[in-house]
Structure 1
Amino acid sequence: MCGIVGILGSTDVAPRLVDALKRLEYRGYDSAGVATLEGGRLVRRRAEGKLRNLEAALEKTPVGGTSGIGHTRWATHGSPSVANAHPHMAGKVAVVHNGIIENYLELREEIKDGGADILTETDTEVVAHLVNAELAKGLSPQDAAARVLPRLKGAFALAFLFDGDNDLLIGARKGSPLAIGHGDGEMYLGSDAIALSPFTDRITYLEEGDWAVLDRNGARVFDANNNEVSRQESRSSVTAALMDKGNYRHFMAKEIHEQPEVIGHTLSRYIDLGARKVDVPGAAAIDFTNLNRILISACGTAYYAGLVAKYWFEKYARLPVEIDVASEFRYRETPIGKNEFALFISQSGETADTLASLRYCKENGAKIGAVVNVPESTIARESDVVFQTIAGPEIGVASTKAFTCQLAVLAALAIHAGRSRGFVNEDQETELVEALGAIPGLAVQALKSEIKIETLSQPLSRVSDALYLGRGTNFPLAMEGALKLKELSYIHAEGYAAGELKHGPIALIDENMPVFVIAPHDGIYEKTVSNMQEVAARGGRIILITDERGAAESGDVAQDVVIMPDVHEIVAPIIYALPVQMISYHTAVFMGTDVDQPRNLAKSVTVE
């Protein structure tokens, strides 16, 4: 993931920027750069590849100055190159950016019509041009930023440095994290406390929609409506920087809220938003046109990601999928035929049962693929092709951002398979890629339901059983919701296909049984409504998770409704995973359980 750092210092800033960027290397990147104010004028150095290349460039051609910004870039729009590396500059402004500007094509055309020269393939460059255009009208840097920020759609964190303003940094966040560091006569910006830990342990975390104006005496913070606000300063332990929760109570809460950012970064590896095409690294190693079957194996939440993928591969690629819990697959002596692809899903890449299943398939001649978050892991090393998720470190035992990033990768891979096999045409590919590209912004919208979810979770903390229902790709999500509730709150919960209600689970329904119904308004929504009516007739309490249209057509059958944004069907299980996670989280918080480390559970199961 991209990393941002900014310093208003009292000593030579370039080495300090590089030091801070080194602490962000864990996020993943493919280029890096810095910009400083040397004699009051903007200068920059950039390099493709690792930070040592940037250090070499700075050693060859040093830059001076005590004010600067730095960036490690994970390519989204445009290939990894020096030209596309950050910081980007236009006139009197330099900018670094983490996230995706969804409406950049529209903005790009606007600035081109205004006579600006576009020098990169990135979405970030348009931000620099827009702010510079406002400066050219005579606006101050603060007013120029205030004018431009509301025009940017998507999830982003930004840091600006201005020519001639040696005592000014401006930062902004929407969906992507950004923190302010407080020093003695110095001020800092960073993607997280890890980047700032060499300089300070006094941190202020910007909240969603905030933007800030920094000088060496402090920072003024404004909300999305440009009202000046106060944000709490907290202490961050330098020695525990990699374990910093930010301004969240638990790691799980932090990781839930990181999803707009990390899903965006993961998708940037697998889709080309500019061309509106899938572009899956390594997929050429798999001949989808001649495959007879895909075998998917995983454990826990990763297994439910695989179940969702089964729907996608069979619908979009017309490719049969067989999926197993890894602990069963490894022992049932599955026959492996020719032209079969075995796909294994694991956050850590070290899950024992999944690894054993992989080795069984490999011994029997199957081509092996892995969806993992740790590219150096054993599963990754033993696979023929690795489809990496860019979720970053996930500390909470209950998987959140790793799950949605797995879904993002699997969706892109299913579209690629469909395109390869001729079942997805060019127009359909464009539609599906645009839907995936909208996920970060939709995730930001979905997270706004948290206040509603927190309110309804309090009475849930007093129940002993719960039921989750869903159809289509939301059936696996129902099982994931039940798993999350069990993991975190120790409440017994079950997930079922809504159509199975009459085949047994309906016997459990009474006035004490909460029933969660995951039901975006889609082609089978009416069927789900009939299932809800069956629950209501038996006194069950229904919590409906749907969109505005679904809520309107459900009548008064549900006691509580959580509204999600309207989404394309391929996006639904990713976006609807967020309220499911928040329900489990807040219920557990009310119960007082150990949210980040539930009893009897481990983050990575490396033994059978």
Structure 2
Amino acid sequence: IDGNKKKEVLAFKEVGKVAKLKKLVDESDLDLEKIFDSHAGIAHTRWATHGPPSTTNCHPHRSDPNWEFTVVHNGIITNYKELKTLLSAKGFKFETDTDTECIAKLTKYIHDQHPQIGFTDLAKAVIQELEGAYGLLIKSVHYPHEVIAARKGSPLVIGVKTQRRMKVDFVDVEYSDENAALPAEAAAQNVAIKKNDLLVPDAGLGAADKSLLHRSQSRAFMTDDGMPMPTEFFLSSDPSAIVEHTKKVMYLEDDDIAHIHEGSLNIHRLKKADGSSNVRTIQTLELELQEIMKGKFDHFMQKEIFEQPESVVNTMRGRLDIANKTVTLGGLRSYISTIRRCRRIIFIACGTSYHSCMAVRGIFEELAEIPIAVELASDFLDRQAPVFRDDTCVFVSQSGETADSLMALRYCLERGALTVGIVNVVGSSISLLTHCGVHVNAGPEIGVASTKAYTSQFIAMVMFALSLSEDRASKKARREEIMEGLANVSDQIKSILELDSSIKALCEKTFKDQKSLLLLGRGSQFSTALEGALKIKEISYLHCEAVMSGELKHGVLALVDENLPIIMILTRDDLFKKSLNAYQQVIARGGKPIVICNPDDEEFKASEAEKIEIPKTVDVLQGLLNVIPLQLIAYWLAVLEGLNVDFPRNLAKSVTVE
């Protein structure tokens, strides 16, 4: 941040929780009451991707001991080793193990060669040398009260706060090749890595000619007499961090460079991408501050589990018409007939979103009668799987910024496939890059372990399947049965949440001092087992393996004894008798399974097994209910161990790096 004196930069770094950093700032000599005419500060909270977590490796990173250039960066620079080698040969001394430090030192190197260069042009020259993904901010003593923001493959949103109403609700984009006054016109020649050296030609990188009249990109922030109005700008990778300050936001696109200075915001690009807009729209967030507060709950995850009766209704609101037995998904309306004619539908996702795709695979095959593939994005890319022009590729992501899914999306777009996005964040990269899509409307999800996004994705995709089969008379009765089930699901989730205290007691009694756990399911309930196992692993750190019940006798049965805790999903469906065989085999080996079953099931009335009774619904929706007790088990296991439920170690909410 700006210090108390001119050209003074103060940096505060700490490993651990934000509270430790706040304490460090509070204990400093910084005058927190000082009022600036203009002020710029940058900060970053993150997990380590290069180098171990340490104060030295914490952001921000500097170009030199005088902090001439300061950088914070989200993402991974893949060519940082080459840059580091080149800059070391130029005499730069590196203090950290991070890739971000290369950005700061590269910026200083170019500035030293051309001290009169403008901040925007300097940023363009730097960015042309970076490979990989980044959302970055640059601050400099040479350009006081200014900030550069740049995005490629990592989300970046700008919040805008003004005292008066803005004149327009957009900011124009200016392209280098449209304006001779911008020195990055010959983009490929500005800073080229050639012959193991950095060559910065003098041509085109001199001081900007201020006598030339540029059209303004910031009419939104001007008063009636053409002067800049007082404006605050907030930059973040997630809009939920901004909402307490302003609801007016603008999403940067890949390759955008934003220059904030003198109460103004300018957007630059090196070149125009095909089909890209000439403006960036300032939008109003549909988000309330109380939505991102814990309220009466101890943790965000607990709050989000208990919000599911409302979040599933929000997903269906305005889309599911029970009275007329219709489903309307506005984001797919123009493409639904094309999807019906496609060769196959490929669902591509990671983690929890992958499990939600697994959960609905059967209903798509049944209703749409189209071949369905479900792919992990990373594996899909590793295999370079064949994709055809008549395929439909569906990308499911809570954040809409998942790095592997985004790379897979670009891969499919290059091959001409129709792409569909199912995301929870409006304005996210996946929502912008896909041809069409569905917003799941789950509301903001703060806890790292996804809960309500899973159930909302599940419902959104079931409605997608219902839309695809709308023209099939033979499926009418089945469709209506599923719609009736959807109408009741909110009340059924509410009744399951009433089991919270008994599930807590079960965790205290059964899982204390355990090191491992098995979770068994069959058919569509295998995806439920996978999701439950992931939740238990990621927040309680207890090893939990999901096993297809039919595979039990192919090796896993050797693990079963009276001491190993086992959870078996045994709600009634067409595969119930086969699932019961696995239950009987576990009992025969002395196992003591916890059974998730329907109320008053005759098969378990005489059993001594612990039971969690779940309301019965349509078979394809049963997994939606069965996952709720597994979420509660994961939550209470973590709480009873005294762990940080909302922020498990080594994990981030949005996985924006490979």
Q: Same fold (TM over 0.5)?
A: yes
Aligned counterparts, 1:388-467, within 5 A:
388-420=439-471, 423-425=474-476, 427-458=477-508, 459-467=510-518
Q: Which residue of 2 aligns with 1:49?
A: none
Q: Deviations over 1:4-34 (max 9, x none)?
A: xxxxxxxxxxxxxxxxxxxxxxxxxxxxxxx
Q: Please report how far the alpha carbon of residue 197 of structure 1 lies from its aligned counterpart in structure 2 after TM superposition.
A: 13
Q: Which residue of 2 aligns with 1:382?
A: 433
Q: Which residue of 1 aligns with 2:355?
A: 304
Aligned counterparts, 1:255-270, within 5 A:
255-270=304-319
Q: Paired residue for 2:575, among 517, 524, 536? A: 524
Q: Which residue of 2 aligns with 1:140?
A: none
Q: Which residue of 1 aligns with 2:635?
A: 585
Q: Please report how far the alpha carbon of residue 422 of structure 1 lies from its aligned counterpart in structure 2 after TM superposition.
A: 5.2
Distance in 1 (alpha carbons) for counterparts of 2:391 and 2:474:
19
Q: Which residue of 1 aligns with 2:365?
A: 314
| 8 Å CA contact retained: 2:367, 2:475 | yes
After superposition, the Cα gap between the structure-2 partners of 1:303 and 1:537, relative to the gap in structure 1 and judged at 3 Å, is: same
Distance in 1 (alpha carbons) for counterparts of 2:576 and 2:632:
23
Q: Structure 1: where are the runs of 5+ without partners?
A: 1-55, 57-193, 199-238
Q: Please report how far the alpha carbon of residue 304 of structure 1 lies from its aligned counterpart in structure 2 after TM superposition.
A: 0.2
Distance in 1 (alpha carbons) for counterparts of 2:468 and 2:631:
30
Question: Secondary structure at 1:540's aligned position in 2?
Answer: coil
| 8 Å CA contact retained: 1:267, 1:409 | yes
Q: Deviations over 1:489-516 (max 9, x none)?
A: 1111111111111112111112221111
Q: Please report how far the alpha carbon of residue 529 of structure 1 lies from its aligned counterpart in structure 2 after TM superposition.
A: 1.5
Percent identical: 38
Q: Paired residue for 1:572, among 622, 632, 640? A: 622
Aligned counterparts, 1:68-107, within 5 A:
none
After superposition, the Cα gap between the structure-2 partners of 1:389 and 1:557, relative to the gap in structure 1 and judged at 3 Å, is: same
Aligned counterparts, 1:271-286, within 5 A:
271-284=320-333, 285-286=335-336
Q: Deviations over 1:331-354 (max 9, x none)?
A: 211111242100011000000000
Q: Which residue of 2 aligns with 1:230?
A: none
| 8 Å CA contact retained: 1:263, 1:408 | yes
| 8 Å CA contact retained: 1:529, 1:554 | no
| 8 Å CA contact retained: 1:344, 1:369 | yes
Question: Secondary structure at 1:419's aligned position in 2?
Answer: coil
Q: Deviations over 1:94-123 (max 9, x none)?
A: xxxxxxxxxxxxxxxxxxxxxxxxxxxxxx
Q: Paired residue for 1:602, among 637, 641, 652? A: 652
After superposition, the Cα gap between the structure-2 partners of 1:196 and 1:283, relative to the gap in structure 1 and judged at 3 Å, is: closer
Q: Structure 2: where are the runs of 5+ without partners?
A: 1-164, 166-241, 247-287
Question: Secondary structure at 2:580's aligned position in 1?
Answer: helix
Q: Please report how far the alpha carbon of residue 596 of structure 1 lies from its aligned counterpart in structure 2 after TM superposition.
A: 0.7
1:553 aligns with 2:603: yes
Distance in 1 (alpha carbons) for counterparts of 2:290 and 2:463:
33
Distance in 2 (alpha carbons) for counterparts of 1:507 and 1:394:
39
Q: Which residue of 1 aligns with 2:25?
A: none
AA paired with 1:372? Answer: V
Q: Paired residue for 2:561, among 510, 528, 532? A: 510
Distance in 1 (alpha carbons) for counterparts of 2:457 and 2:413:
22
Distance in 1 (alpha carbons) for counterparts of 2:616 and 2:328:
26
AA paired with 1:273? Answer: I
Distance in 2 (alpha carbons) for counterparts of 1:374 and 1:197:
19
Q: Please report how far the alpha carbon of residue 283 of structure 1 lies from its aligned counterpart in structure 2 after TM superposition.
A: 2.4
1:343 aligns with 2:394: yes
| 8 Å CA contact retained: 2:349, 2:376 | yes
Q: Please report how far the alpha carbon of residue 288 of structure 1 lies from its aligned counterpart in structure 2 after TM superposition.
A: 3.3
AA paired with 1:585? Answer: Y
Question: Secondary structure at 1:255's aligned position in 2?
Answer: helix
After superposition, the Cα gap between the structure-2 partners of 1:385 and 1:466, relative to the gap in structure 1 and judged at 3 Å, is: same
Over 6 Å off, 4+ runs: 194-198
1:496 aligns with 2:547: yes
Q: Please report how far the alpha carbon of residue 573 of structure 1 lies from its aligned counterpart in structure 2 after TM superposition.
A: 1.0
RMSD: 2.3
In terms of mean alpha carbon deviation, does 367-376 or 535-544 score higher?
535-544
Q: Please report how far the alpha carbon of residue 525 of structure 1 lies from its aligned counterpart in structure 2 after TM superposition.
A: 1.2
| 8 Å CA contact retained: 1:435, 1:570 | no
Distance in 2 (alpha carbons) for counterparts of 1:518 and 1:264:
25
Q: Which residue of 2 aligns with 1:160?
A: none
Q: Please report how far the alpha carbon of residue 570 of structure 1 lies from its aligned counterpart in structure 2 after TM superposition.
A: 2.1
Distance in 2 (alpha carbons) for counterparts of 1:566 and 1:572:
7
| 8 Å CA contact retained: 1:289, 1:420 | no
Aligned counterparts, 1:203-242, within 5 A:
none
Q: Paired residue for 2:529, among 463, 478, 493? A: 478
Aligned counterparts, 1:113-124, within 5 A:
none
| 8 Å CA contact retained: 2:481, 2:618 | no
Q: Which residue of 1 aligns with 2:385?
A: 334
Q: Please report how far the alpha carbon of residue 434 of structure 1 lies from its aligned counterpart in structure 2 after TM superposition.
A: 1.4
Question: Secondary structure at 2:347's aligned position in 1?
Answer: strand
After superposition, the Cα gap between the structure-2 partners of 1:573 and 1:269, relative to the gap in structure 1 and judged at 3 Å, is: farther
Q: Paired residue for 1:368, among 397, 419, 425? A: 419
Distance in 2 (alpha carbons) for counterparts of 1:423 and 1:310:
19
AA paired with 2:312? Answer: I
Distance in 2 (alpha carbons) for counterparts of 1:197 and 1:338:
45
Distance in 2 (alpha carbons) for counterparts of 1:327 and 1:302:
13
Q: Please report how far the alpha carbon of residue 419 of structure 1 lies from its aligned counterpart in structure 2 after TM superposition.
A: 2.5
| 8 Å CA contact retained: 2:398, 2:425 | yes
How many residues of Structure 1 are paired with residues of Structure 2 in the alignment? 374
AA paired with 1:586? Answer: W
Q: Please report how far the alpha carbon of residue 251 of structure 1 lies from its aligned counterpart in structure 2 after TM superposition.
A: 0.7
Q: Which residue of 1 aligns with 2:3?
A: none
After superposition, the Cα gap between the structure-2 partners of 1:269 and 1:371, relative to the gap in structure 1 and judged at 3 Å, is: farther
Q: Which residue of 2 aligns with 1:251?
A: 300
Distance in 1 (alpha carbons) for counterparts of 2:374 and 2:419:
14
| 8 Å CA contact retained: 1:520, 1:545 | yes
Distance in 2 (alpha carbons) for counterparts of 1:415 and 1:248:
36
Distance in 1 (alpha carbons) for counterparts of 2:545 and 2:375:
19
Q: Deviations over 1:198-228 (max 9, x none)?
A: 9xxxxxxxxxxxxxxxxxxxxxxxxxxxxxx
Q: Please report how far the alpha carbon of residue 571 of structure 1 lies from its aligned counterpart in structure 2 after TM superposition.
A: 1.6
Q: Deviations over 1:349-371 (max 9, x none)?
A: 00000000111111101100011
Q: Which residue of 2 aligns with 1:359?
A: 410
User: Greater CA radius of gyration, 1 or 2?
Assistant: 2
| 8 Å CA contact retained: 1:271, 1:278 | yes
Aligned counterparts, 1:1-16, within 5 A:
none
Q: Please report how far the alpha carbon of residue 415 of structure 1 lies from its aligned counterpart in structure 2 after TM superposition.
A: 1.5
Distance in 1 (alpha carbons) for counterparts of 2:473 and 2:650:
47
After superposition, the Cα gap between the structure-2 partners of 1:461 and 1:488, relative to the gap in structure 1 and judged at 3 Å, is: farther
| 8 Å CA contact retained: 2:532, 2:631 | yes
Q: Please report how far the alpha carbon of residue 423 of structure 1 lies from its aligned counterpart in structure 2 after TM superposition.
A: 5.0
Distance in 2 (alpha carbons) for counterparts of 1:462 and 1:423:
53
Q: Please report how far the alpha carbon of residue 572 of structure 1 lies from its aligned counterpart in structure 2 after TM superposition.
A: 0.6
Distance in 1 (alpha carbons) for counterparts of 2:492 and 2:370:
29
AA paired with 2:644? Answer: D
